[in-house]
Amino acid sequence: MVVVESDLLPPDPAVVVIPLLHDYPAVRLLNPSIHHGGQHLILATRLIAAVQRASLRRTGTVTDQGDRITRAIDVLMAGV
C-alpha cells in the first residue's frame, strides 16, 4: 500500500492508502505502474481507503514517483 495522506494533517489513528497489486486491470493514468522493491506493481487507485495506521509497516518509499500517484488521484477525483 502507498500512504497518500499528507504529513501536514494532524495525527489520526487512520490513514488514507492506495493498494499496490500485481494483477490489476490498468487504466492509463489512473493505474500507473509503480516500481518498488524490485517489482513493478499497479496502483489500484479505485481501491483507495482508510486503514488503521497501527496496522501498517513501512517497507520503503515511492516518493520519487509522487507525481504519477498524484496524477492518478486527480484522474480518479476529477477525471483529468
pTM of the full structure:
0.92
Q: Compute mean pLDDT per 10 residues along the chain, 80 residues long, and list them.
A: 94 96 94 93 98 94 95 94
Number of domains in the chain: 1
The beta-carbon contacts of 29-38 under 8 Å, at least 24 apart in sequence, are 29/71, 29/72, 29/75, 30/72, 30/75, 30/76, 31/72, 32/65, 32/68, 32/69, 32/71, 32/72, 34/2, 34/62, 34/65, 34/68, 34/69, 35/62, 35/65, 36/60, 36/62
| CATH number of the CATH domain containing 53 | 2.30.30.110
